Amino acid sequence: MDEELRALTERLRAEAAATGSPGARKVYDRLAATGDLDELAAVLTEPGHPLWARELAAFRLGVAGDRRAFESLVLLLNHRDPPRCAAAAHALARLGDPRTARAAATLATNELRVAYALHPVRLLVELRAPESVPALITTLERRLRPHDPYRRVALACVEGLGTLGDERAAPVLNDALAHPVLAEAAVRALARIPGQR
């Protein structure tokens, strides 16, 4: 079993059990075992399903490449709970929906939701889409302001821009050298950009 799937199923099994409802465990078992994508998709559209059930259905649809999961996964990518964001990013990376990169770029660059931008940033790096480098540059530029509290997001941008190795990132990575928390990662990132060694 995929490590991300194992972590997700253990977490959601515990959430279902915590409700104290025998029915919840039955629903969990059914959703975890079914091969019927229509049954999973119905969980995303029918009212009354708890968040853990919707997340399990969306994740399973996403890794199966079923685009009916897209909207639910994007909402989960922007959730306040980091494990939900990580699972959604994992599924979105495998979904193959052309809207994914644009959605991730929008979330990564939304200053009102920057506290939740870490997983959208990482997803953009994994996707290597045309939107990836411009969104990471924009997000990192904003994180270089004095006393910015979102250093994990800034570091993910620096590392991601190094992974992508695009020369457009050189100016903002050079600016990141002035920030002690980012300097070492910025040196490594610049070394991966042609002409910056």
- Walk along the chain (197 residues) and give the pLDDT tens digit of each residue: 478 788 898 999 999 999 888 888 899 999 999 999 999 999 999 999 999 999 999 999 999 999 999 999 999 999 999 999 999 999 999 999 999 999 999 999 999 999 999 999 999 999 999 999 999 999 999 999 989 999 999 999 999 999 999 999 999 999 999 999 999 999 999 999 987 65
pLDDT of amino acid 95 = 96
Kindly compute the dihedral angle of the four CA atoms of residues 65, 100, 114, 149, in this order, to the nearest 10 degrees.
70
Query: How many angstroms from the chain centroid is the CA of residue 57?
Result: 17
Q: Which residues, 6 or more positions from 84, have their beta carbon under 8 angstroms from its beta carbon? A: 55, 76
CB 109 within 8 A of CB 141: no
pLDDT of amino acid 84 = 95
Sign of CA dihedral 128, 157, 133, 106: positive
pLDDT of amino acid 145 = 93
End-to-end CA distance of the chain: 41
pLDDT of amino acid 197 = 56
pLDDT of amino acid 6 = 86
CB 190 within 8 A of CB 174: yes
CB 93 within 8 A of CB 65: no
